[in-house]
Copies of this chain bind each other. A is one copy, B any other.
């Protein structure tokens, strides 16, 4: 175990995700367990640059395991993308004697962390915290499981009213570049169809599925739309469908930011706890510039650059299953 590291710091960055607090708690308590000092940095890289540090202990993180959001707050920092910003950040770490940094976030967070490591050699390790599940090197990112349950719970409610009125609903879920949430919730709620960022779906394809649903006399027809799909935004998709199927009562719901909140699921809390411990132990054992993840139920460290570049791929089998079950 590296004797060099005596003081750690942890921050959350980018879009918040349920389970981030569970990860913070695990990081802090593991640091305490190994008798290291641990700082919490507020508002992601902005707080790092501005020196918004607070020393934490075991008590600081009690009763946060079940809270959505992040007690450290989060932000997307423009300044950290600049050399000057990174230099200020480095100076803040020096000033507080921090010799190991844990960052919890997604793509942007890790890209920044990797550059920071390259520029200043700061021992840094990542924990995957994003509802998008789009990182290579972990089967599940923290927050993804909770977000899918939230979406499914909302669409179950929408289906109540959809069934009562024979309506066609387009429900837009989060996922700018990645269709994980859309694809899995579509199977879970028995969607008529799904529109993904990864697809080159045409309106003709969509019309065929809607036609099929109508001819099967389905009473509730729900199409799940990932926000980053290539066909268009949900309102314009719905408008095209209204033109083509004027007899259908077509509605749009955009679930929006409520997908980021809520008490984390058991799975997200357990994953966050495991990865929080693993991140601190990784740092103490000299694993830098990597992300701690779970692959095939095993703890795995993946270089940050790889985690970001080799995007996680949707299982094509899911689309096949979705079609069989929409029969």
A62 to chain B, nearest CB (A): 8
In the complex, what residue of chain B is closest to A220 when comparing beta carbons?
Answer: B63
Q: A58-B327, A216-B58, A270-B184 are in contact. Are A16 and B156 (CB under 8 A)?
A: no
A86 at the interface (CB under 8 A from B): no
Cβ 8 A contact of A74, one of B67, B165, B269: B165
- B68 lies within 8 A of A16 (CB): no
Q: Are B261 and A151 touching (Cβ within 8 A)? A: no
Interface residues on A, range: 35 or more
Asked if A160 and B18 make an inter-chain contact with CB atoms under 8 angstroms apart, the answer reads yes
- Knowing A69-B161, A165-B16, say if A254 contacts B254 (CB, 8 Å): yes
- The residue in chain B whose Cβ has the minimal distance to the Cβ of A189 is B65
Residues of chain B within 8 A (CB-CB) of A218 are 62
Contact flag A75-B261 (CB < 8 Å), given A254-B254, A266-B185, A267-B148: no
Task: Report the minimal beta-carbon distance from A173 to chain B, rounded to whole angstroms.
Answer: 11
Q: How far is the CA of A68 from the CA of B69 in the complex (A)?
A: 18
A window 270-308: CB within 8 A of B: 270, 273-274, 277, 296-297, 299
With contact pairs A33-B327, A58-B327, A169-B257 given, residues A262 and B157 touching in the complex (Cβ less than 8 Å): yes
Chain B, Cβ-Cβ closest to A166: B73
Residue-wise, chain A 164-185 has the 8 Å CB interface mask toward B (1 for contact) of: 1110010000000000000011
A239 in the interface, Cβ–Cβ < 8 Å? no
A 142-172 binary contact with B (CB < 8 Å = 1; else 0): 0001001111111111111111111001000
B contact residues around A109 at 8 Å (CB)? none
Within 8 Å of chain B (Cβ to Cβ): is A324?
Answer: yes
Chain B residues, CB < 8 A from A30 = 324-325
Cα A311 to Cα B267 with chains together (Å): 21
Question: Which residue on B lies nearest to A64, using beta carbons?
Answer: B190
- A114 contacts partner chain B, Cβ-Cβ < 8 Å: no
14 further A-B pairs in the complex, CB-CB below 8 A; given A157-B258, A157-B262: A30-B324, A33-B324, A58-B216, A66-B152, A67-B160, A70-B164, A145-B265, A149-B266, A155-B258, A157-B257, A158-B258, A184-B270, A185-B266, A251-B257
18 CB-based A-B contacts, threshold 8 Å: A16-B160, A16-B161, A29-B325, A29-B327, A33-B324, A65-B190, A67-B160, A69-B163, A73-B163, A145-B265, A157-B262, A187-B269, A188-B266, A253-B254, A254-B254, A273-B321, A296-B297, A299-B317
Q: Which chain A residues have a beta carbon within 8 Å of chain B's beta carbons?
A: 12, 15-16, 18, 25-26, 29-30, 32-33, 58, 62-63, 65-70, 73-75, 139, 145, 148-166, 169, 184-185, 187-190, 216, 218-220, 251-254, 256-263, 265-267, 269-270, 273-274, 277, 296-297, 299, 315, 317, 321, 324-325, 327
Which 6 A-B residue pairings sit nearest by Cβ, starting from the closest?
A: A157-B261, A68-B160, A160-B261, A296-B296, A69-B160, A148-B266
